[in-house]
Structure 1
Amino acid sequence: MTSDVDTNNSILPTKTPLPSSTENNKQNHTVIILASGLSERLGQPKQLLSKHGEPLICYMTKIALATKPLAIIVVLPQDQPAITDAINGLVRQNPIIYTVINLIPETGMAHSLSLGIEALTNLKISLINRVLIMGVDQVLLDSEHLKELLAFKSTVVASSYQYLDKAYSTDTGKNNIIGLPIVINVERLKQWQPALRGDKGLRYLIRALPPNQLSTVINHQLSYDIDTPKQLFYARQQHWLDA
């Protein structure tokens, strides 16, 4: 059976050892960045869109670094050397960043997340108790929002934001979205891994949680993601992305 993990870009044992509990007892989370989407509707890799003069995938990884995680696992699509090259500079500078190659990115976000969980398990870091999961196309995401998510201690802490239609206008007939970025207890995430299928596995699992296990942080700026040329045009017009 072919593995979905590219061992040339994943969990490298030669990297600098991760900090022990005596070195920094405040670090207790890792980050999984889901960046293996094929951007078929957009027509170009959203990972390589430019924000403040650098590829979006690098910008988002730096936001994740600002939360001071134990490790960051970035899941990338296969056969996309430009994306891999873009993130490799950060990987060389930061020994806590690892990349995993998704050989079948067309299967959806849930498979990408499953690969991230598998890589996380292979790290064997006993200090980890929570996982921050994020994507790369919420162009107004910042590190402050991620830190606010991490400040809660619930089993799951999710972002909440307004539903927008494809033209970026509000559809008041729909409830707020509960979704990424999200912080999950690591043991709960591993329990959920077998149920992750397609694009919506995680969202359905979160909806099934009892209220006392779920907290949300409202940030309507997260409504603006980039899936279509029209959305990209709007984001550039607002100077959220470089032209």
Structure 2
Amino acid sequence: MTNAPVWAVLLAAGLSRRLGQPKQLLRLSGEPLVRRAVRAVLDAGYAGVVAVIPLGELGQQVRAALDGLPLVFAENPEPERGLSESFRAGIAALPPDVAAANFALADMPFVTAEHHRAVREAFEATGAPLVLARFGPDKVRAPPHLFRADLLGGFTQSGDHGPKHLIRDYAGQAVWLDLPAGALRDVDTPEDWAGVSAASQP
């Protein structure tokens, strides 16, 4: 077990090329997706939250959407180089005494505070190097994923993906959390957004 601080990093610097408009700012039930995602993490009891945002006008709009929330902002100066740069920007903003970091995405609106809390509590109970989520009966692996602090220096990947090499190397020591299939929905295309919007209706 560990009592050292566990932080979360919300990756929200994407350029939304396939969607054609900033996904972070799309509104679900009247709330921007990025604010909904950050609130879910904040409500899960992490010691702190880093929000990784782009530079420029879009970055200012994302900041405005998150106004009033207790966050640390980190800017990704090169989001066009892919998700890997957002990982690195988020890691650089973490405090030196962090025990682990849970990485989540701004465009998965059905990942709840309960899910994020389960990730944190699994790490605090075990100290495992990885806590990995998998969704539905097909056990599709997707964020949120937590990495212990000693693994953070290994985020050497490039391009539009996470540290698959670390997941591969440490998968045998990972704690796996099974989350519902519906929480896997994300927003990459207009069709995705239509599906998410429909799924959010009562």
Q: Distance in 2 between matches of 1:40 and 1:159?
A: 26
Q: Secondary structure at the match of 2:141?
A: strand
What is the CA-CA distance between 1:27 and the residue it aligns to?
6.3
Q: Are 1:156 and 1:184, in contact at CA under 8 Å, matched by a contact in 2?
A: yes
Q: 1:217 — aligned with what?
A: 177
In the superposition, the TM-score normalised over structure 2's length comes to 0.87
Aligned length: 194
Q: Distance in 1 between matches of 2:4 and 2:30?
A: 30
Q: Hey, which of these two has a bigger chunk of helix by percent?
A: 2
Candidates 68, 84, 103, aligned match of 2:45:
68
Q: Which deviations, in whole Å up to 9, do the C-alpha atoms of 1:184-211 show, x marking residues without a partner?
A: 1112122x13x12112241232022251
Q: Distance in 1 between matches of 2:63 and 2:48?
A: 18
Q: Secondary structure at the match of 1:221?
A: helix
Q: Distance in 1 between matches of 2:92 and 2:150?
A: 13
What is the CA-CA distance between 1:102 and the residue it aligns to?
1.1
In the superposition, the TM-score normalised over structure 1's length comes to 0.73
Report the residue type matching 1:234 in the other structure: G
Q: 5 Å matches for 1:167-186?
A: 176-186=139-149
| Structure 1 residues 59 and 207: CA distance shift in structure 2, 3 A | same
Q: 1:99 — aligned with what?
A: 73
Structure with max Cα Rg:
1
CA-based RMSD: 2.1
Q: State yes or no: 1:54 paired with 2:64.
A: no
Q: 2:113 — aligned with what?
A: 143
Q: Hey, which of these two has a bigger chunk of strand by percent?
A: 2
Report the residue type matching 1:129 in the other structure: A
Q: Distance in 2 between matches of 1:201 and 1:67?
A: 23
Q: Distance in 2 between matches of 1:88 and 1:108?
A: 26
Structure 2 unaligned spans of 5+: none
Candidates 161, 185, 188, aligned match of 1:227:
188
Deviation above 4 Å: which 4+ runs of structure 1? none
